[in-house]
Amino acid sequence: MDVPMDPITLAVLQGRLEQIVDEMDATLFRSAFNPTIAEAHDACHGLYDALTGDTLVQGSSGLPIFVGSMAFAVRTVIARVERDGPMHDGDVYVFNDPYDGGTHLNDFKLVRPVIRDGELFCYLASVGHWNDVGGNVAGSYNPAATELAQEGVLVPPMKLFEQGRRRDDVVDLLCAISRVPVNAFGDLNAQVAALDVGVRRLGELLDEYGEVTVAAASTQLSDAAERLMRSQIAALADGTYHCADALDNDGGSDHEIPVAVEVTVAGDTLVLDFTATAPACRGPLNIARSTAVAACYVALKHLFPEVPANAGCLRPVTVVISDGSLLDARPPRPVAGYTETILRIMDVLFGAIAQSAPERAMGCSYGTINALSISGEDDGARWVLFTFFGGGLGGHPDGDGLDHANAPLSTAIIPPIEVLEATYPIRFTQWALRADSGGPGEHRGGLGAVYEIELLADEADMSTFGERSKRPPFGAAQGRPAARNVISYEHDGAWVRPPLGAKVVGVGLRRGQRLRIESPGGGGWGDPRARDPLRVARDVRLGYVTPEAARRDYGVELPAGTDASAVGEPAR
């Protein structure tokens, strides 16, 4: 139904809908038990269309990659409802199937209908990263997995609530698959509480404005996003552009895995063709088609930030993925390392679009989350630490990349050192910016970081899952690559690097032993020799760049005996 709506009312409704999702996010973050959700905000909520599952609204604090993939998860529930019969008020589905809804087994999805006067209005959905869901490796991030069962337990869509009545047998199952069942129970109930808030707040909005008006606003906002995306695409130079990169290895054999895209700009449409990307691999770098599409969605949001975040922005975009490829995981392919693959998708998309629109060019981000799992027992209690780390973002036409930032796939927060030390028997002996890690350029890439962790328990098992130990993040517009990723750990009195770079599983640590992560920086932008020498000197003074690198990469020689701390600030 075409409902006339003035711009002010439309803007108010947009703000109100977004506020509902933001409040759902906040409810989960403040209620979850595990730090990956509570502190790092590895979770998301959204409103989805009742018929298509398309994204209607996302909030400002949840992970964007989840918003795109959750549309596919909602469609999975819609298909289940068509098979099993209608949903009722108070029903909630729960599942973690990575092939239907994307991402990996740790990400549990809850989907709930909003029913008004007996009619389905829309779906609310919640997703959060649970700390452990079984499998061969504590934390369920197994870099050596060759099938999904080695990563954890797949839970197909099942009803957690039936007409408001909680199924305790399903709760028992969900807690039983985890090494830390108390965390699972707490995170599950926090997600349920977030959905409760969403239903209540959306009900208040519908009572105030009516279903017809709110539905019309959602339609108009999606149409507006499509129009704006088309106008942004139309401003690009028509043509076909290529960019290729590679993942280090699949966690088993030391062979690179190509990720490549061909981007065709034709008027106000885009075709993103990943046909040249590698076939599915044996290890856990595969991703579901839905996850690959969601990664494209996030990349386009970075390139065209003015476009509202809903399904309308993808209408002018066609994504081509070969059946059974790395980007179309089929059972039982492992998928735990999906984050690494989507980061490479984003890198090649940025690289290809930059050829059409150089003003949008940017150096690559650090390109890996460096997932870390440490687990053991302390005073008879099982503990599982799972966390991730930051690095540098790429230089860009307007300035240097951010230092020690989070990956562009998300808006997550790097878990605070104080929380990790208070929760687990570990101590950080170093948490510092990594000198010379940012790619040289007229605008320098952001710096990576050095993290060094000491075990305080008697013993523990450690695994890491990272990338960019072979191919460094590349630069743009003559900018140079950043430093590579380096993982090392103490063993028999020496520092050891894993044979597969940033991937290792089952390393035994004893009290007092340390592990070290030296994350990459971001790629540089522009010719390093064009950088203002005063900026180079300032970088030296701050310890971002060593005097040797200033001489080698920028051609800036500080006179012998110069006190770098006395160097003035560059002109603004």
Amino acid at the residue 196: D
Kindly compute the dihedral angle of the four CA atoms of residues 532, 535, 541, 547, in this order, to the nearest 10 degrees: -40
Type of residue at 170? V
Q: What is the mean pLDDT of residues 92-117?
A: 95
What's the average model confidence in pLDDT over 283-294? 96
The rounded distance, in Å, linking the Cα atoms of 233 and 261 is 17
Rounded CA separation 519/487 (Å): 8
What pTM did the predictor assign?
Answer: 0.94
The predicted pLDDT at position 380 comes to: 82
Taking 90 as the threshold, does the pLDDT of residue 571 lie above it?
no
- Give the pLDDT of residue 561: 52
Question: Over the chain, what is the mean pLDDT?
Answer: 94
End-to-end CA gap in the chain: 54
8 Å CB contact between 73 and 128: no
**pLDDT attached to residue 560:** 57
Two tokens, residue 96? 């973690």
Q: What does 301-329 look like in DSSP terms, one character per residue?
A: HHH-TTS-SSGGGGTTEEEE--TTBTTS-
Give the E-state strand segments of 199-238 in sequence order.
Answer: none
> What's the pLDDT tens digit per position in 439-463?
999 999 999 999 999 999 999 999 9
Strand partners, 509: 460
Rounded to an integer, the average pLDDT of 472-495 is: 96
**Euclidean distance between CA atoms 366 and 406, whole angstroms:** 9
Contact (Cβ atoms closer than 8 angstroms) between residue 233 and residue 265: yes
The three-class DSSP label of residue 272 is: strand
In this prediction, residues 412-426 reach a mean pLDDT of: 93
Q: Other CB atoms closer than 10 Å to residue 431's CB: what's the count?
A: 14
pLDDT tens by residue, 110-134? 999 999 999 999 999 999 999 999 9
Write down the pLDDT at residue 548.
96
- What residues does each domain of the chain span? 7-226, 361-531
The residue count for the chain: 572
Alpha helical stretches, state H, 262-375:
289-303, 338-356
